[in-house]
């Protein structure tokens, strides 16, 4: 009886450790966070369209994650999206003339910010704003433009529905 209880306790501890490991893994995969995150300095960038960018999205430079999107808001004067990024203190030498672009990881993947460093001798610091930005490519807009161009092109051939003229 005592040996049975000991085995049950050991199995219970093993199951709890497994569940804790799964919880930590799911938090890491879903970018919820973990211990040690939040240190760094904040910089801003202003975009006309951020697409589906969300807070906690990665900020990458040369494919390496150097920070996360801290917050997204609207500038009340320009009505542009203002993205605040939290950059790790390990990356303090990002040139002032760095550009920021919004990309999509894969065809239907999450969006992230990619920083392309410039050649400036001065570096971005807490509260600075990136001046050179490139907006997100919205797939729906591209498809809409393609469909509009196809419809407009079909009307230029005399109304025969895009068929061949003989």
Q: DSSP labels for 104-133?
A: ESSSS--EEEEEE----SSB--TT-EE-EE
Name the pTM for this structure: 0.66
- Say which residues have a Cβ less than 8 Å from residue 94's Cβ, sequence separation at least 6: 61, 87, 115, 117, 123, 124
Can you tell me whether residue 7 is helix, strand or coil? Answer: helix
- Find out whether 84 and 127 touch, Cβ atoms under 8 Å: no
Alpha-carbon span 69 to 43, nearest angstrom: 10
Alpha-carbon span 66 to 130, nearest angstrom: 15
DSSP designation for 89: T
Q: What is residue 36's predicted lDDT score, i.e. its pLDDT? A: 42
Alpha-carbon span 15 to 55, nearest angstrom: 33
Radius of gyration of the chain (CA): 25
Each of the 166 residues of the chain gets a pLDDT tens digit; together they read 678 899 999 999 999 999 999 998 887 776 555 444 567 999 999 999 998 899 999 999 999 999 999 999 999 999 999 999 999 999 999 999 999 999 988 766 788 999 999 999 999 999 999 999 988 877 777 888 888 888 887 555 444 555 445 4
Burial zone of 83 (CB within 10 Å; 0-12 exposed, 13-18 middle, 19+ buried): buried
Q: What is residue 39's predicted lDDT score, i.e. its pLDDT? A: 79
Q: What is residue 115's predicted lDDT score, i.e. its pLDDT? A: 95
Q: What is residue 68's predicted lDDT score, i.e. its pLDDT? A: 94
Find the distance separating the first CA and the last CA of the chain, reported in whole Å. 94
Alpha-carbon span 125 to 96, nearest angstrom: 9
């Amino acid at each position: 009886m005592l040996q049975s209880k000991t085995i049950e306790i050991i199995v219970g501890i093993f199951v709890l450790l497994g569940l804790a490991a799964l919880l930590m893994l799911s938090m890491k995969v879903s970018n919820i966070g973990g211990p040690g995150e939040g240190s760094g300095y904040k910089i801003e960038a202003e975009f006309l369209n951020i697409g589906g960018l969300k807070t906690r999205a990665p900020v990458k430079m040369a494919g390496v994650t150097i920070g996360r999107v801290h917050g997204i808001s609207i500038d009340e004067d320009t009505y542009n999206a203002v993205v605040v990024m939290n950059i790790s203190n390990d990356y303090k030498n990002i040139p002032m003339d760095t550009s920021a672009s919004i990309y999509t990881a894969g065809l239907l993947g999450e969006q992230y910010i990619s920083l392309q460093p410039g050649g400036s001798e001065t570096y971005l610091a807490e509260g600075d704003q990136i001046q050179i930005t490139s907006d997100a490519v919205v797939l729906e807009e591209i498809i809409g433009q393609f469909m509009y161009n196809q419809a407009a092109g079909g009307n230029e051939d005399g109304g025969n529905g895009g068929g061949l003229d003989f």
